[in-house]
Structures are given as C-alpha cells and as structure tokens.
Chain A
Amino acid sequence: MSGLQGTAALLALIRLRMRGRLRRLRANLKRPKTLLLALLGLGFVALIVIAQAHNDHDPARDELIASFPRVPLLSFFLTAFMVTTVIGGVRQGVMAFTPAEVHFLLPGPIGSRALILAHLINASLKVVFSALLFAALLTPGNTPWARALLGYSMIFLVLVALGLVVDLAHAKLSSAARKRRAKWIGVGLLGVAALVAALRLWLLPHDALAALAPLGWPAWPFVQLILGDDPQQIALGAALAVGALLALLSCAFGMPADVREAARGTSEVVQRKLKQMGKGQWMRDRPDAGQQRRSALRMLPTLGGAGPHLWRQLITLSRTRRGLAMLLWMTSVILGTMLFTARDTLPVEAITAMGVLMPMFMGSMFLQCDFRGDYESLAWMRSLPCSPTALAAGQLIAGTLVIFALQLVFMVWALFNVDAAARPWVAGAVPMLPALVLLQLCVENGAYLLSPHAMPGSNGQPPGAGQLLRFYGLSLVKMLTLVAALVPPGLAGALVGYWSEQPALGLIVGGAVLWLETALAVGLVGRIYLRVDPSVDLTSD
C-alpha cells in the first residue's frame, strides 16, 4: 500500500466544499420556506437543549434516573443500535465516494492511505453531528455533556473504523461468498449472545438484567465513558474504546487490499441506495436484476380506484422485507427493553400506550409504501381515471394495515393484563387505532408532498446544517400538526362524556370524530398530491 500522496489536494477539496456548502446554505436561507423550516428546526433543537438544562436541576428526576439500571440499559440499547447500523447497511457508506469523487479521485495520483484518510475526515464530520444528536437525546440530566459527547463520538468512530475494515475485506470476496460469510457471522454472534444470556439467567434466575447485560457488552466501554461513576471503570472503558479504535484503524491502514476497488464497489452500492432514498424509497429492498417474482394476492375490487392502488401497495409492502424487518427490530428492541426492565414499575396502560404509539411512529418512518415511494410516478398517477381521494386512500391504507396488526398484538396483551374494569375501554379503543394510524400517515405524506425532501445525508455527504435544521423543522411541524388534529376528537369525546355522564358515549363520539377527521385528511392529501411538481430533483437536495 502506498503512502499519503495527494493528501494536500484532498484537504483543499474539503475546504472548497465547506465553502460551497456555506454558499448554498446562504442562498437557501433567502427562500422564505427554507428560512421558516430552519427557524422551526432551531426551535426544536433549542427545546431539547432547554429541556436538558432544566432537567439538570430536577432532583426528583435525578433520583429516578439513579434508581434505574442505566449502564446495562444503555449498553444494551447502544449495542442494538450498533447491530442495526451494521445490518441496516449504513456500514457500506464508510468506504463510499460520491460520483464526483469516483470521477476525480480514484483515477487521480492519490495514495491508497490518503484515500482512507479522506474517508476518515469525511466520516468524522458525520460523527460530530451524530454524537451531538445522541448526547442531546440520550444523556441523563446529571451526566456531563462533554463526557457524553466523547463517549458517543468514540462509538461512532469505532463504527466508522469497523466499516472501513469490513468494506476493505469485502473487496476480496465474491458477492455469494460475502452473503454466506455475513450470514454465518450473524448467526454465530447471535448464538453466542443467546448462550451467555441463557447461562446468566440459569445462574441468576431472579435477576432479569443479568441476562440483558451480556447482550450489551460491545457497548460497555463506551457506556462507562458516558455514565460510569468509578474512576477505575471509566479508565478501563476509555482504554478499551481507544484500543479498539486503534486496532481497527491499524487493520484498515495495513490491510493489503485494493482500496480503489473497495471504494468503487461500495460507492456503486451506496449510490444506488441513495438514489432510492432520494426518491423516498429508502427502505425498499435492493432490486435483484432478473429475479422473477409472482404475487399470490388477487386484484382487489376497484372501489373508485382505491382498490388497484391498495393492491399495488400491498404487493410493494410484501417486497419491502427490509422495511418490515427494521420496523419489527426497532419496535422489539425498544419495547422489549422496556418490558424486560420496567415491567414491575410501569403501569400496564403506559406500556400499552407505548406499544401502540411506537409501531405507529416507527412504521410511518420505515414503511414507505405510499406517496413517498411513488414520487417519480406522481405525474403518471394524475393521468389515471381515479378521484384523488380514492387514490390517496389506496396509497395510504396498506401501511395502516401492517401497523394496526402490530398494535393489535399489544392490545390483546393489554386485554389480558389490565384490570377487568378497564377491559371494555381497551376493547373500545381498538376500532380507533386504524384511524389514528391513517391520520399519522396523512400527516407524513402531506408534509412530504408539500415539501419533497430526501433524508439528511442522502446525497452521500454529511448532512449540512441547513439540511438538518430543515429536517428538524419539518419534524416539529408534523408533530404539531398531529397533536392539533387530535384536539377535536379528544375535546368532542371529553365534552360528550362529561355532559351525558356516560364516558362510553364520549368514547364513541370521540372515535367517530376521529374517523371523520381522518377521512377529511385523506381527501386533503389527495388534493395536495395534485399540486406537487414532480420535476423537483430530490437527489440534489
């Protein structure tokens, strides 16, 4: 492997691109819509920071946090995140270059180590953003921010280094061998983790956390950096984290691999994926060229045009295994952790509420079998003999059905666990859930159609500040819209229940208003879709 020739040019490129991004940000901020979204985004970030600062002085919350098994919980959560990152394919982005970099850098007079260094510098910008976000969202009130930032930065740097090693190693394998190896490594790791957990449970049958702890061992050193109390443990955690990082980096820099071949291969995969993401299909499965597929699902009745669209989206959904897998994985990790640790402290109603809301928010994010996955077909869809409301209904119902099915599992669980007096309420809430999910999907799709956008970072570069602020701003707008939409049914139900002194009647009226409002929202999304300009190139966002 050659040396660091070309490093000066790469640094010059980074400087020029930073300047270019600032120029673009300034230009974008002159547009009122972007400025408004950026201001809302800033407000969102400010809210989080203020909430964090306020919590620093909340003794009751600190006491509650102190009583929680924070180290094993955070270890487990971060390990799950690391596994998700690797399985989710984010790893493949580490060795990827943008098309322009492939054009100019790979044929250029640049040493292989300089190319790896360029990746590290680029990735370090992403690391800073991610660490800041995690430190803001996942830091208990009494933990110093600097330590949290350091701990999260170390996690992401190790992930980057791991990605470099894996990508370089992959360059030497055929695609079939890669799949085989990945499968066996995955099965092996899961087997070891399950065995250790089972052994711990057998030895310590009354301590459920003891079983959870070994599942989180990969993140333990980093969690010690963030949350540790014992100086010796912190020092050990820091040493292990730095050691792991250095070992992985020396492996990446010393590996006798064709860096250009690895970068080219990874870049092609990532660019294809990013193109999908830019079109709003970031969870869609990789298209397997030439693979024949048949669907057993028979065509649905026309229903004014809704039927064929629903049929099409259901078929798409059946081929979005990645999205479904991510939805199930994330939901089970978060809810599983909660059930495992807080079963005795949290009321059943709270767990049920989480079990209902979590799939709704996760599902609307991961299952994009609606307008978000059809951005390129909008112009064609307008030419179809179908009313916009029926079309919108067909587009949105497929995702609703899947999410509702997941929610139903929790509702059934709740029926068996709540008091007998609360059971009719749980059963009465079930018919409202599809309306709630459909409303959430209406908000997501309406926002997407009004402001088509790619995910931050989907152009292959670390997300710019403007892009992130816009994303946060849009998230805040969506959240406020959903909350505002829930006020009328809530209010109607409460008032009717109060005046009639029949809470059951309030529930029925509230549900009816929710369904009515959802139907109106579906119609509104249909109207919005007619206004979209499909010529906006999302990939250049």
Chain B
Amino acid sequence: MIEVEGLEKRFDEVLAVGGVSLRVDAGEILGLVGINGAGKTTLLRMLAGILGVGAGSIRIAGHPMNPDAVEARRQLAFVPDTPMLFDTLTVNEHLLFIAELYRVADPEPRIEALLAEFELSDKRHSVASALSRGMRQKLAICCAFLHEPAALLLDEPLTGLDPPGRRSMCEAIAARARDGAAVLVSSHQLEIVERVSTRFAILHRGQLRATGTLDEIRATLGEQVDGANLEELFLHATTHDAIADPRADPSEAADA
C-alpha cells in the first residue's frame, strides 16, 4: 500500500509538487497522468525516496519513507522513465545483484521465470550495453519485479517496447497487482493507462486535479464530461484552468 499525505516539494523558489495526498491500496493500479512539467517525475522520485520531501508524509506498506528508511525501501521497486543499467554487467549479473541487494532467498528459480516471462532467456549472458532499448526496459522491469515488492512505481514503463511487448508488459503489471502489489504507473500513453489502471490521478501544475475511477473523475469535473474517456477528461482537467497556478515559474525543469 502507498499512502501519501500533504506532499510538497520546492526547488529553490519553484513549487514542483504542492499538497498532494493519495492512496494506492494493495492490488490496485493507479494511473498517474499529467502534462510535461506537471510534477509527475518529482512525485515519483519522492515516493521512491530518491528526492527529499519538503513537507508531508509517505508510507510504503505501512513503513514511513524518510531519507534513512531501509524497511520502506525493501518493500518498494522504482523503474525510471529511462532504464539506467550497469553497462559492463550482464543481464544475469544485474539480477544477481538485485537479489543480493533485496536479500532474495534462492533467487535462481525466480530469475529463470522472469527471464522466460520477458523473453530474455537467450540474452542472459549479454552485457547491458549490447541490449536494445526495449530489452533494456524489460531488464529494468525484471529487476523491479524480482523481489516481489509490495509497492511498484513505474515511470513510462512502456517506452521503447513494440506492440507485443507493450501488451505483455501490461499483462505483467496487472499480474503483479493481482498478486497484491500496489502499483503506480505514470505515462503519457493515456489509452494504455486507461486500459491497465483501476484508478487515476490527474496531476496539473504540481497539484492533484482529480483522483478516482473514471466515473468519480467525471463526477468531480462536472456534467459536460459525461461519457468522456481518460484522454478527454485529462484534456478537460488540464486546459480548463480551475486551479490557480501556485508556482512562481512553471518550468518543465521539475519534470525533466
């Protein structure tokens, strides 16, 4: 479970995320959407414990997340928008390292299963620098799934994947949620987010514009969006400037 209460982050004078509160229960997939510079990546980085929190609190599987929180991090997996791998390590060595890091007991069967699931078995001993963009993405996801985290944070997990790859990735994410993980997916590919997520959060200028199921968001945004899909709701929420811009300088830097 991921619980966020009154989260705030400033970069010098610029407010990147302001007063965000949300909750992702076990077995749920929350789709986080927002325009460039909305604060999605900043929010995810704070949830992952990479970025310090200005104000507010985060709990991962009941454990508070703070700069030194080891237990909360043990329950968490984060995949950034661009998979950053150790170029000199092989696929297998990446997974062995993650197993050691998260103290996965008897990792071999799980590694075998993940490599088979993501069609990387024949690349097991290839160094990361020799992998294609899509394969690197798959390896990053395998690393995230290996320790069976209670909370999954995925930033643009489908980038670089071909259509079959996207489909199998969506199925894999849904399977983790069915196994009890709380999943937060951030993406610009709204049709896929709509298909895979159970609830949605629209972030705009660092603040949550709407959260809930599609029906709940329609109810929040008013009668004129009756029957609208996620893309239409998103455009309505982000172009009808119902909330004032709290930021002195709404740059894209925070989301870069």
Closest chain B residue, CB of each to CB of A16: B93
The answer to whether the Cβ of B129 comes within 8 Å of any Cβ in the partner chain is yes
Known A-B contacts A17-B89, A260-B49; A108 and B67 likewise in contact (beta carbons under 8 Å): no
CB-based contact B50/A258 at 8 Å: no
Contacts of B83 in A (CB 8 A): 103
Contact B70–A5 (Cβ < 8 Å): yes
Q: Which of B67, B77, B89, B253 is the one whose CB lies under 8 Å from A16?
A: B89
Q: Which one of A19, A104, A107 has the greatest number of beta carbons of chain B within 10 Å?
A: A107
Contact residues, B52-103 vs A (CB, 8 A): 52, 67-68, 70-71, 73-74, 76-78, 80, 82-90, 93, 96-98, 100-102
Nearest residue (CB) in A for B129 is A540
B4 in contact (CB, < 8 A): no
Say whether B143 faces chain A, with CB atoms less than 8 Å apart: yes
Most buried by B among A23, A98, A100: A100
With A104-B98, A109-B102, A112-B68 already in contact, the answer to whether A21 and B88 are too (CB < 8 A) is: yes
Given the known inter-chain contacts A1-B68, A102-B50, please indicate yes or no for A20 contacting B73, CB distance below 8 A: no
A176 at the interface (CB under 8 A from B): yes
B12 touches A (CB below 8 Å):
yes
A residues in contact with B88, CB < 8 Å = 17, 20-21, 23-24
Instruction: Looking at the assembled complex, report how far the CB atom of A243 sits from the nearest CB atom of chain B, in whole angstroms.
Output: 29
Minimum Cβ distance to chain B for residue A538 (Å): 14
Query: Are the CB atoms of A111 and B68 closer together than 8 Å?
Result: yes
Query: What string of 1s and 0s marks CB contacts (under 8 Å) between A249-260 and chain B?
Result: 000000000111
A9 touches B127 (CB 8 A): no
Q: Which residues of B contact A98 (CB under 8 A)?
A: 84, 86
Given A107-B49, A289-B253, residue A12 in contact with residue B97 (CB < 8 A): yes
Partner of B96, one of A16, A20, A258: A16
CA distance A102 to B78 in the complex (A): 11
> Lowest 4 A-B CB distances belong to which pairs?
A20-B88, A99-B84, A2-B68, A9-B101
Q: Supply 13 further A-B pairs (C-beta < 8 A) apart from A103-B84, A107-B77, A260-B51.
A: A6-B70, A6-B101, A12-B100, A100-B84, A100-B85, A103-B78, A104-B143, A107-B49, A260-B49, A260-B52, A260-B67, A264-B51, A289-B253
- Interface residues, chain A, with chain B CB atoms under 8 Å away: 1-2, 5-6, 8-9, 12-13, 16-17, 19-21, 23-24, 98-100, 102-104, 106-112, 174-176, 258-261, 264, 289, 540
Q: List 30 A-B contacts (CB under 8 A).
A: A6-B101, A8-B100, A9-B97, A12-B96, A12-B100, A16-B86, A16-B89, A16-B93, A17-B89, A19-B93, A20-B88, A21-B88, A23-B127, A24-B88, A100-B84, A100-B87, A103-B83, A104-B86, A104-B97, A104-B143, A107-B49, A107-B76, A108-B101, A109-B101, A258-B52, A259-B67, A260-B49, A260-B52, A261-B51, A264-B51
